[in-house]
Amino acid sequence: MQFENTLSFAQNLDANDNLAHFKNQFHLLTNNDKHVVYLCGNSLGLQPKSARAAVEQELIDWAKFGVEGHFNAKNPWFGYHHLLTENAAKVVGANPSEVVIMNNLTVNLHLMMVSFYQPTATRFKIIMEAAAFPSDLYAMETQVKHHHLNPDDAIIELKPREGEYTLRTEDIIATINANADSLALVMLGGVNYYTGQVFDMKAISAAAHAVGAYAGFDLAHAAGNLHLQLHDWDVDFAVWCTYKYLNSGPGGTSGVFVHQRHENSELNRFAGWWGHDEGERFQMKKGFKAIAGAQGWQLSNAQIFPMAIHKASLEMFAKAGIENLRAKSELLTGYLEFILNDFSEFLTVITPKNKEERGCQLSIIVKENGKQLFDFLENENIMPDWREPDVIRMSPVPMYNTFEDVYLIGEALKKYFTS
């Protein structure tokens, strides 16, 4: 498509957007009755209007039934996670048996590491991004130390080539092959939180398996953003939060994917009573008997209130279709890139240009006074986010951002750089 930097062009794209009505199902931000262009969905998604009623239903049933709500509530709590499974599986490209919603992201990452990182004297290394999100860094460090290993010896950090901002797939695979005999796990973010780069999860998983290692991914910035195909890509495991692109509230619940080939495996795990065979769960007997599939990694009973919000959000995703959201996202992000190119004298976009290598986030380095520009944009009712030391992240989310929003970003930048 040939883009134009005009209001009429942006409004015409909005008028022909089949997903445009979804923005009216969110509480959009305002400042002194003026519309705020919200670009922080990669940090915390906006609130669906349906979230309040979803939580209130569970409050009503708690008040009405007490403990019997586990079986008599409108949405019985005993099997509440089942109500989320099918739609969650569609979002990440999985079979329902491969997905479970539980806990929080870093808790789930540690649970997966217990199962998929079992180092030996010869196979003990982990490959990860040098600039991964801190939770991933801390999880890897402490898991390695738990096995009485030195992180400096066990963790291989991937860094971009000199003068580049992002990793090359061929360099990731070359590192995997170079450590073929000692590699236990490749653990990357599906999307790098800082640069917005999407990793080729299919190619990386295949390379890891070829040398006898597992492949896992933190999808915090990928779930609800990309058209994921975790089953077909042969990923071993993945974890994700739900409060970013999945719009399920601050500190919301998390998701886990475990490929079906591990369904009945004897992988080591930390067990809890909610992962025990449902038919025998309340018999309170010794001897853990895991539910087949990802559900067998559950520890405790469902977090009903955050799961209620997530259920409401997933129902919106089911109606919109992740394929349709991704198609709009590519166009919306492409339009933002087009607008930003008018200011290439002043800023650099470090996110890959190839749409297959990015989601809806563009990360920008301003050549001078980046924090000053960030503050100016906020005063203009444009809300990106700032990441130290020098990046402004902008994430136009297809569920609630518009092409006119993107146009307004350009108008604010024009005001800043020409005033």
Surface-to-core class of residue 160, CB atoms within 10 Å of its CB (0-12 exposed, 13-18 middle, 19+ buried): middle
Residue 193 belongs to a domain: yes
Distance CA 304, CA 311 (A): 10
Q: What is the pLDDT of residue 159?
A: 97
pLDDT in tens, 7-27: 999 999 999 999 999 999 999
In a domain, 91, yes or no: yes
Question: Which of 259, 288, 319 represents a domain boundary (last residue)?
Answer: 319
Residue 48 lies in a domain: no
Q: What is the pLDDT of residue 419?
A: 80
Q: What is the pLDDT of residues 186-239, one digit of tens each?
A: 999 999 999 999 999 999 999 999 999 999 999 999 999 999 999 999 999 999
Model pLDDT for residues 111-122, shown as the tens digit of each residue: 999 999 999 999
Q: Which domain holds residue 233?
A: 55-319
Within a domain: 382: yes
Q: What is the pLDDT of residue 235?
A: 98
Instruction: Say if residue 153 is in the same domain as residue 276.
Output: yes
Q: pLDDT band at 154, cuts 50/70/90?
A: very high
- pLDDT for 76 beyond 90: yes
Q: Distances from the Cα of 76 to the Cαs of 71, 165, 274, 400, in angstroms?
A: 5, 48, 15, 31
Provide mean pLDDT across the span 332-342: 98
Kindly report, residue by residue over 31-61, the tens digit of the pLDDT. Answer: 999 999 999 999 999 999 999 999 999 999 9
Are both 309 and 333 inside the same structural domain?
Answer: no
Q: Could you tell me if residue 47 is inside a domain? A: no
Q: How many domains does the chain have?
A: 2
For the segment 127-153, what is each residue's pLDDT rounded down to a tens digit?
999 989 999 999 999 999 999 999 999
Which structure tokens are listed for 60? 């009503």
Asked if 380 and 31 count as a contact pair (C-beta separation under 8 A), the reply is no
The pairing of beta strand 37-38 with beta strand 382-383: parallel
**DSSP state string for 90-140:** HHHT--GGGEEE-S-HHHHHHHHHHHH----SS--EEEEETT--HHHHHHH
Query: Is residue 50, in this structure, part of any structural domain at all?
Result: no
Tokens 């779930």, located at residue: 223
30 lies in the same domain as 91? no
Looking at the structure, tell me whether residues 368 and 411 fall in a common domain: yes
pLDDT of residue 63: 98
- Are 27 and 170 members of one domain? no
Per-residue pLDDT tens digits for 54-75: 999 999 999 999 999 999 999 9
Question: Is residue 62 domain-shared with residue 174, that is, in the same domain?
Answer: yes
Task: Indicate whether 415 pLDDT > 90.
Answer: yes
Pair 366, 304 in one domain: no
Q: Do both 168 and 207 map to the same domain?
A: yes
Task: Scan for tokens 């000199």, then name that residue.
Answer: 162
> Of all helices (H) and strands (E), which one includes residue 184?
strand 183-189
Here the CATH number for the domain that contains residue 303 is 3.40.640.10
Question: Is residue 297 pLDDT above 90, yes or no?
Answer: yes
169 shares a domain with 212? yes
- Mean of per-residue pLDDT scores for the chain: 97
Nearest to residue 329, comparing CAs of 404, 389, 395? 395
Q: Is residue 93 part of a domain?
A: yes
Cα–Cα distance for residue pair 74/172, rounded to 1 Å: 49
Please say which residue of 278, 296, 319 terminates a domain: 319
CATH number of the domain residue 347 falls in: 3.90.1150.10
Q: Tell me how long the chain is.
A: 419
Which residues lie closer than 8 Å to 173 by C-beta, 6 or more apart?
203, 204, 207
Q: Point out which residues pair with 127 in neighbouring strands.
A: 156, 186
User: What span, in angstroms and rounded, lies between the C-alpha atoms of 19 and 320?
Assistant: 7
pLDDT digits (tens, 9 = 90+) for 251-285: 999 999 999 999 877 899 999 999 999 988 888 88
Q: Is the dihedral of CA 177, 179, 185, 191 positive or negative?
A: negative
27 and 145 fall within a common domain: no
Q: What would the pLDDT profile of 369-379 be if each residue is shown by its tens digit?
A: 999 999 999 99
Tell me the pTM: 0.96
Domain co-membership, 101 together with 250: yes
In the prediction, which pLDDT does 283 show? 87
Clarify whether residues 292 and 366 are in a common domain. Answer: no
Instruction: Give residue 282's pLDDT.
Output: 84
Task: Tell me what pLDDT residue 204 has.
Answer: 98
pLDDT band at 88 (very low <50, low <70, confident <90, very high): very high
Given 299, 319, 339, the domain boundary residue is: 319
**Please, what sign has the CA dihedral across residues 116, 121, 123, 129?**
positive
Within-domain flag for 49: no
Closest CA to 256 of 127, 96, 58: 96
pLDDT for the residue numbered 263: 87
